[in-house]
Structure 1
Amino acid sequence: MSKRTEKTIVDIAEELNLSVSTVSRALNDHPNISAKTKEKVKKMARKMGYRPNTMAAGLRNNKSKTIGLVVPRISMFFPATISTVIQNKLQEHGYNLLICQSNDSYEQEIALADTLYSARVDALAVSTTLYTTDFSHFDVFIENNIPLVFFDRVPKDYNVKVIKGDDYLGGLTVTKHLIERGCKDIVHISGPLTCNLYIERVAGYKSALQQHKIPFKKSRIFYHELTRENALQTCEKIFAQQPYPDGIFAANDTTAITILEYCRKIKLRVPEDIKIAGYSNDPRTEIITPSITSVDQYPALMGEKVAAALLELLQQSKPVQQKYNEEIIPIKLIARASTEGPVVKVRGKKK
């Protein structure tokens, strides 16, 4: 196959018998060019398959008008919602968003940081992998005054803007909710403790048990990537022998849904025999039967906050040394049928 020859503004100018500068101004909507000429030039550009060289333009003015975004998996409800909001907000201000997914691979995340830096993005927003504990591959952005914002899965004590959910309060609230619905033997299925989300949700779970004088048992907590396959394996362990737990707090909704299906398979009634709560308020939790109690993390609000933080950093006239700055997005328990039951008095406290 012959190599495609790129058309340039010189080709358009020759075709229309116009100067190169007139064509350039028409394509960029310069006010001194008439609407008729702009329309004629743009029509010819489309006909000839002309593609503007935005990279070259970026090199000239040191701005690419492109922002990088790295998420673990775009297929998941929470990052997908956030990504959509960020893209829409940035486009309102003339920025394009380059979305990349690490697939929860630390090595891939390093490669993406390298690629986006080489692509001369004007700023970068990141939700890290489950296993990212060394963030030095992002140092180049800080050293070169390129705005950098972390969200959801974030570092601690790294000189950047951080926007995260209130995961400690989330873990505390879910566990208290189960206790108040009569649960005394609560299993928690957590993600890996290399990730801030699960460190904090586990801490909230333990605090709720302690506050209500329920002993913490290591045998009642499980750590692994929160996939359907892993959830099924954990269910095999949980229900291998009695007594069964009377409550399960799953750190994501995929796991909660899988547990519900497993309980149905072994003839356990939800919520009569066991109560189940998830996390993230995935739309599936509302339409499944019984519907599943979960935690709303307000992903749209988080997306708005990330976009606003990027724009604020980009609009600063002088490079500013970034410092650790944490912003917390609220959570809200959404109680549904999977934890239904009367509120009980716990240790003499009125609830």
Structure 2
Amino acid sequence: MSKRSEKTIVDIAAELNLSVSTVSRALHDNPNISARTKDKVKKMARKLGYRPNALAAGLRNNKSKTIGLIIPRISMFFPATITTIMQNKLQEHGYNLIICQSNDSYEQEVALVNTLYSARVDGLAVSTTLYTSDFSHFDIFKEQHIPLVFFDRVPLEKNAKVIKGDDFLGGFTATEHLILKGCKDIVHISGPLSCSLYIERVAGHKKALQQYKLPFKKTRMFYQELTRDNALKACKQIFAQKPYPDGIFAANDTTALTILEYCRGINVRVPEDLKIIGYSNDPRSEISTPSITSIDQSPEMMGERVAAALIELLKAPAAPQKQSPEIIPIRLIERASSEGKNVVKAAAKKPAKK
């Protein structure tokens, strides 16, 4: 079957016996064109199936009016919420969002960066893969002064705009909460330490143990992709022999919910025998039984700030330089999985990283 040829403004002009420039102005609602002519042109455009060529227009004015977004997975609550907020905010400023997911593949991330650059996006926002350690594929955006914003999963050292959660404080707060509830033997299930998020959350976890004079035990640490299958594998190790831990800090809510389900199957009561805290405040954590205590990462605020940063850079691109990261606050959402009176007095001072 032959491909249907694209109709152009030349075809519309020929059908109506008008000049190409008149058709172009009518399609763009030029005030010098009469309402009657505009109506005729638009009706003929619909009849012929005319589609404006945004790419060609972008080449003419050097603006595509599109922003590229690369996230690990659109199916996860946190990046999905950020994506929705970003799209809404950018559309208010006349920009469309091209959404890409790396599926936590470094090779796919590199390919997507090159594709979006070739597509002439006006800016790029990225939450990197778990395993990205070489960020040189982003240099082309910096070299061409195209706005680039890293968020959530970010490079530890990069001269770019960075917007991230307070993961150190999040790790500290989660562990401190379990300690205040009386937990003395705490397991932490972390993501891989190739990712900035988990480096900082583990550092916060260690700081809380140190501040409350509890030992850090390597045998109570797990570093893995935070999937349901990996959570089940960790549970089999954790509960293979007694004594069982009295608290678990899971670095995402999928893992926390999986632990809760596993405990139900081996008659470990939550929160009486084991207290659990997750991370991200996924809506599922609120409707489980018992509901899951979690760390909220303010995804709406992060989405708004990433969109705002892109708009600011589009108006006045900043020269590449070392910038302090913008920190989005976290907050503890206490629910039934860690229920109980505080039996330890809270620390008086906010923790410092060093």
Q: Post-superposition shift, 1:322?
A: 4.6
Q: Call closer, same or farther: CA 1:121–1:322 in 2, change over 3 Å.
A: farther
SS in structure 2 at match of 1:276: strand
Shift of 1:41: 2.0
Q: Is the 8 A contact 1:247 1:276 kept in 2?
A: yes
Identity over aligned pairs, percent: 76
The Cα of 1:31 is off from its aligned counterpart by: 2.2
* Distance (whole Å) between structure 2 residues aligned to residue 295 and residue 16 of structure 1: 63
Superposed, which structure 2 residues align to 1:162-177 within 5 Å? Answer: 162-177=162-177
Q: Cα offset for 1:19?
A: 1.5
Residue 13 in structure 1 maps to residue 17 in structure 2: no
Amino acid paired to 1:223: Y
Would the aligned equivalents of 1:161 and 1:322 in 2 still touch at CA under 8 Å?
A: no
- When normalised by structure 1's length, the TM-score is 0.97
Q: Secondary structure at the match of 2:325?
A: strand
Q: Which residue of 2 aligns with 1:342?
A: 341
Partner of 1:257: 257
Native 8 Å contact 1:188 1:249 kept in 2: yes
Distance 2:346 2:205 in 1: 18
Q: Which residue of 1 aligns with 2:105?
A: 105
How far 1:51 sits from its partner (Å)?
1.2
Closer, same or farther: CA 27–5 of 1 in aligned 2, 3 Å:
same
Q: Output the CA distance in 1 between the equivalents of 2:190 and 2:51.
A: 48
Q: Identify which range, 45-54 or 100-109, moves more after superposition.
A: 45-54
Distance in 2, Cα, partners of 1:92 & 1:61: 20
Match for 1:321: what amino acid? P
User: Match for 1:328: what amino acid?
Assistant: I
User: 1:78-89, aligned counterparts within 5 Å?
Assistant: 78-89=78-89
CA distance in 2, matches of 1:286, 1:39: 53
Q: 1:284 maps to which residue?
A: 284
Instruction: Tell me the residue number matched to 1:36.
Output: 36
| 1:17 to partner: Cα distance | 2.2
Deviation of the 1:34 alpha carbon: 2.8
Q: How does 1:175-186 map to 2 (within 5 A)?
A: 175-186=175-186
Give the SS at the match of 1:157: coil
Pair 62,235 (structure 1): closer, same or farther in 2 beyond 3 Å? same
Contact kept, 8 Å, 1:186 with 1:245, in 2: the verdict is: yes
| Preserved contact between residue 160 and residue 320 of structure 2 (Cα < 8 Å) | no
Contact 1:212 1:346 in 2 (8 A): no
| Paired amino acid for 1:338 | S
Distance in 2 (CA, whole Å) between partners of 1:273 and 1:321 is 53
Q: Distance in 2 between matches of 1:36 and 1:301?
A: 47
**Post-superposition CA distance 1:237-266 (Å, at most 9, x none):** 000000000000000000000000000011
Distance (whole Å) between structure 1 residues aligned to residue 95 and residue 107 of structure 2: 28
Alpha-carbon distance in structure 2 between the residues aligned to 1:147 and 1:322: 13
SS in structure 2 at match of 1:155: coil
Unaligned runs of 5+ in 2: 349-354
Q: Which amino acid aligns with 1:175?
A: T
1:8/1:291 CA distance change after superposition, 3 Å: same
Aligned-residue Cα RMSD (Å) equals: 1.4
Confirm or deny that 1:271 pairs with 2:271.
yes
Secondary structure of the structure 2 residue equivalent to 1:258: helix
Measured against aligned partners, the alpha-carbon deviations of 1:264-312 in whole angstroms (never above 9, x if no partner) come to 0111110001001000000000011100000110101000000000000
C-alpha change, 1:319 and 1:207, in structure 2 (3 Å) is closer
| Bigger Cα displacement from structure 2, 340-349 vs 226-235 | 340-349
Q: In the superposition, relative to structure 1, how do residues 348 and 234 fare at CA in structure 2: closer, same or farther (>3 Å)?
A: closer
**Count of matched residue pairs:** 348
Q: What is the rounded CA distance, in whole Å, between the counterparts of 2:243 and 2:102 in structure 1?
A: 40
Larger CA deviation: 226-235 vs 337-346: 337-346
Q: Hey, what's the Cα distance between the residues in 2 that align with 1:166 and 1:226?
A: 19
